């Protein structure tokens, strides 16, 4: 069958693992009569959005209705279900590196694994599966179904670090500009967007960490490798928590700077008001239109009034310094 006809079937990849790190491709029309050696395993990777995928799962996969319903479910979160006969359903999330997509809008991968067959479904392309296929082409891929699931989980997890580095770099730049330039005002929308991105990642990575720990306890595949993935996700979650705290510190620092600036401004306005209030009172009192104003008949009255105001200013400045207001 041609690649175009295989695409129409919803099958993205069909590989028979040879048990030595390599794999051979299988066409869609060969699945019904496919036979492989005891040391070999089968990996079927499907496009979940294709209508033929659901049809094949329900009619030709030998999976129960319950498993098919879960694999085709519209919305999922990271979870693990143990099924009879040492089978399991695994729902993972990976970084969305497709053009125009937000990385924190994580892509779901649904996996049904048994001793010698792995069925995986995705809605959007994943770099993790592309890297895995490249490993098979080099003869360095997983040797069996359990190793295949482990490698898929590893590839999905490994791409989180790049997004975390990007978030940390953006925060480093903001903190550096705040330290260097006192007049710099960070963009609150972009800062809050960093917090939303970290929260979106944490939403799926936290349950995924527990999932890896459960797989290690169940003894599925290499326990040490599952523990290592669990530890790696724990570190990523700690870094995401640090990102959230650093965002809070940046916003708090900016609020404190704005508050200090406002307080200094109000303080200067208070000092200026304190200086001019007595003078305003004095000039207002001398400016009333009634008889008996002192100095109204004196030709030096204006100069005397200016001298009095000047003396009042000097006295106020001395008093403010004495009170440590200046």
Between 107-111, 116-120, 224-228, 284-288, the lowest mean confidence (pLDDT) is in: 284-288
Token pair 């928590």 in the structure block, residue: 241
Q: Which of 191, 190, 226 lies closest to 211 in space, CA to CA?
A: 226
Q: For position 188, what pLDDT does the model report?
A: 80
Furthest C-alpha separation in the chain: 124
Q: Which long-range contacts (CB under 8 A, 24 or more apart) does 54-57 make?
A: 56/9, 56/10, 56/11, 57/119
The two tokens of residue 126 are 């994943």
Q: For position 31, what pLDDT does the model report?
A: 86
Q: Whole-angstrom Cα distance, residue 132 to residue 128?
A: 6
Q: Phi then psi for 159, rounded to 5 degrees?
A: -80, -5
pLDDT band (50, 70, 90) for residue 150 = very high
pLDDT band (50, 70, 90) for residue 117 = very high
Q: For position 35, what pLDDT does the model report?
A: 84
Residue with the bigger pLDDT between 145 and 38: it is: 145
Cα 291 to Cα 203, 294, 295: the distances in Å are: 81, 9, 11
pLDDT band (50, 70, 90) for residue 100 = low
Q: Which of 9, 16, 8 lies closest to 118 in space, CA to CA?
A: 16
Would you call 20 helix, strand, or coil by DSSP?
A: coil
pLDDT band (50, 70, 90) for residue 99 = low
Supply the pTM of this predicted model: 0.75
Please compute the mean of the pLDDT values over residues 217-223 and round it to a whole number: 86
Q: For position 6, what pLDDT does the model report?
A: 53
206 Cβ contact list (under 8 Å, min separation 6): 237
Q: For position 230, what pLDDT does the model report?
A: 92
* Residue 222: pLDDT over 50: yes
Please compute the mean of the pLDDT values over residues 82-98 and round it to a whole number: 86
Pairing of strands 117-122, 41-47: parallel
Please compute the mean of the pLDDT values over residues 93-102 and round it to a whole number: 74
**Share above pLDDT 70 across residues of the chain, in percent, rounded to a whole number:** 93
* Residue 112: pLDDT over 90: yes
* Residue 2: pLDDT over 50: no
Q: For position 316, what pLDDT does the model report?
A: 82
Q: Whole-angstrom Cα distance, residue 71 to residue 207?
A: 18
Q: For position 89, what pLDDT does the model report?
A: 93
Q: Which of 107, 103, 108 lies closest to 167 in space, CA to CA?
A: 103
Mean pLDDT over all residues of the chain? 85
Residue with the bigger pLDDT between 91 and 303: it is: 91
Residue with the bigger pLDDT between 324 and 66: it is: 66
Residue with the bigger pLDDT between 249 and 238: it is: 238
């Amino acid at each position: 069958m041609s690649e175009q006809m295989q695409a129409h079937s919803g099958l993205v990849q069909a590989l028979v693992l040879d048990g030595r790190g390599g794999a051979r491709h299988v066409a869609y029309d060969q699945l019904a009569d496919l036979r492989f050696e005891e040391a070999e395993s089968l990996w079927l990777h499907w496009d979940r959005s294709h209508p033929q995928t659901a049809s094949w799962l329900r009619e030709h996969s030998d999976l129960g209705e319950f498993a098919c319903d879960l694999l085709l479910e519209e919305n999922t979160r990271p979870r693990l279900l143990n099924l009879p006969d040492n089978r399991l359903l695994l729902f993972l999330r990976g970084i969305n590196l497709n053009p125009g997509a937000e990385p924190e809008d994580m892509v779901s991968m649904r996996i049904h694994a048994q001793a010698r067959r792995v069925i995986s479904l995705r809605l959007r392309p994943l770099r993790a599966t592309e890297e895995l296929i490249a490993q098979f082409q080099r003869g360095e891929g997983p040797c069996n179904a359990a190793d295949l699931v482990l490698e898929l989980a590893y590839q999905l997890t490994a791409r989180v670090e790049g997004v975390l580095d990007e978030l940390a770099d953006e925060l480093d730049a903001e903190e550096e500009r705040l330290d260097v330039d006192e007049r710099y005002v960070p963009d609150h929308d972009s800062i809050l967007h960093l917090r939303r991105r970290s929260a979106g990642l944490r939403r799926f990575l936290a349950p995924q960490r527990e999932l890896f720990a459960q797989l290690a306890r169940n003894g599925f595949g290499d326990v040490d490798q599952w523990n290592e993935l669990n530890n790696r996700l724990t570190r990523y979650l700690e870094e995401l928590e640090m990102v959230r705290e650093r965002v809070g510190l940046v916003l708090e620092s900016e609020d404190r700077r704005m508050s200090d600036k406002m307080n200094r401004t109000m303080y200067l306005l208070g000092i200026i008001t304190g200086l001019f209030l007595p003078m305003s009172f004095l000039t207002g009192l001398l400016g009333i239109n009634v008889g008996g104003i002192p100095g109204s008949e004196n030709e030096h009255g204006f100069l005397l009034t200016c001298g009095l105001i000047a003396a009042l200013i000097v006295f106020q400045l001395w008093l403010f310094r004495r009170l440590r207001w200046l």
